[in-house]
A and B are shown apart, each in its own frame.
Chain A
């Protein structure tokens, strides 16, 4: 398998494909990292929110008649309607994210972290199986939002979907960064993530801030879900499982709790997977877990994570 001749150009081409893949990992990874930042909880249901994000963009298109019954010709969806689908999906995912927090995690705010972690796994299973009941376990096919075209970028070929993914993901990440660093609710998030009790004493509505954190993480996951569905239109209720795990690895690699870390971890993971995929696509899925093991062995705090919290 490794004897396959590969040129350096192919590797660069694959690395570029990896960037668009990694951009989506990054979008999902920020959800893990933000929730961990405020609650020290790994929200294992986050991958399912990503899955729901794709479904919630699928249904408006279906209701509007853009998805034909068996075997019919797929009509092209007008550009403005993409916006409608994405906004609907973002709003629905934000609601789901806040609902999960309110119903599953808030009652356990003072319980042991293990109880919360097991609950997170439970919520994940609930959403996976609930979605199979709601949406059916057979795959749904996402509408065709754009004709696939190749764009020449220097010596490389990229598809227009890949370009869209990279641009949208970059805008979303920059937007998130500005929100967290420059706005008042963003400042509250940073304060809550350091010291919930003191933040409360300062008049910060801690419960509201935590709900907002879930909402924003879920919105990012929903964007990720829609972007992936544009590239790989086959939706299944279990699609969030592997994606969620990989995004979690990206968050750990970047340093859990760090938003720039999640972005970096996502990109590295995406590129590494694609480059390995040059030789073997079967092994590409394993890359994430090899990385996870290496990070945990060598630098458990991740690339941009802090080692422990300094309390003054």
Chain B
């Protein structure tokens, strides 16, 4: 049995009076790709934000690599290898591509490692190497998503949280992005993926959780959920 890298137990998060996450519990094992699917406003992004310390849970426990991280500052978690590539990609358009890459390694103090990771990133994403002096804002949507992933790899994450990597991209580019995610996972990075595109997310993950209005509705192996009639009806557009 692999080690559990991330464990959420009875997480409750509020936006003012709104109860956004109602007792979420989930687990991610080392080396897995786990996906969270659900409709708009179900609480997927809030779950990720809570994991990386942008939101706080009122109850329950939040453990990363065996440690309680419910009170950890976000930048500390990045140092410890828990990194999120945000929804909407979060590229800094006023910084060059190279600077965007480097800011991904901001928490990393080891200069040699930074240069090594940078070289590796450019090797995996040659398109970014060609454009490293361009401003981030001049890239296309697909390139920006590539940059977002490449950037989050700069701090050598152990667990990568990806929030809607397919958002607003053409199907062909979505395919490339998911191939990249597979490759990153093969390199040893555990991935927790949030997606509205349930079909592709289930095909590229080991296990999945379905979130409905702040609660885990269904969980199981991705291959099983792909043929689960409830998932098919609600998320895969089949009946």
A interface residue numbers (CB < 8 A to B): 184, 187-188, 190-191, 193-195, 197-206, 310-312
Contacts and interface: CB of A to CB of B under 8 A. Distances in A.
A312 B147 CA distance: 13
Contact of B94 (A188, A190, A200, A206): A190
Nearest to B154: A202
A187 to B, nearest CB: 6
Contacts of B74: 200-201, 203
B50 to A, nearest CB: 13
A194 B93 contact: yes
Contact of B75 (A184, A190, A194, A204): A204
B137 A201 contact: no
A202 B93 CA distance: 15
B38 interface: no
B158 to A, nearest CB: 14
B151 interface: yes
B190 interface: no
Contacts of B79: 203
Which of B52, B78, B79 has the most chain A CB atoms closer than 10 A to its own CB? B78
A191 B86 contact: no
Interface stretch (B96-104, B191-199, B223-231): B96-104
A204 B92 contact: no
Interface string B42-60: 0000000000101000000
B84 interface: yes
B138 to A, nearest CB: 10
Nearest to A204: B106
21 contacts: A184-B106, A187-B103, A188-B103, A190-B94, A191-B92, A194-B95, A195-B92, A197-B86, A198-B90, A200-B75, A201-B78, A201-B83, A201-B85, A201-B90, A202-B155, A203-B105, A203-B155, A204-B106, A205-B73, A310-B93, A312-B137
B91 interface: yes
B78 A312 contact: no
Nearest to B91: A312
Contacts, number: 76
Contacts of A187: 95, 99, 102-103
A194 B93 CA distance: 8
Given A188-B106, A310-B137, A203 B94 contact: no
B102 A203 contact: no
B75 A203 contact: yes
Contacts of B102: 184, 187
B144 interface: yes
Contact of A202 (B54, B88, B89, B151): B151
Contacts of B108: 203
A253 B79 CA distance: 41
B84 A201 contact: yes
Contacts of B83: 201, 203
A204 to B, nearest CB: 5
A199 B94 CA distance: 13
Nearest to B155: A203
B69 interface: no
Contacts of B151: 202
10 interchain residue pairs of minimum CB distance: A203-B107, A203-B78, A198-B90, A203-B106, A203-B75, A200-B74, A205-B75, A202-B103, A204-B106, A201-B84
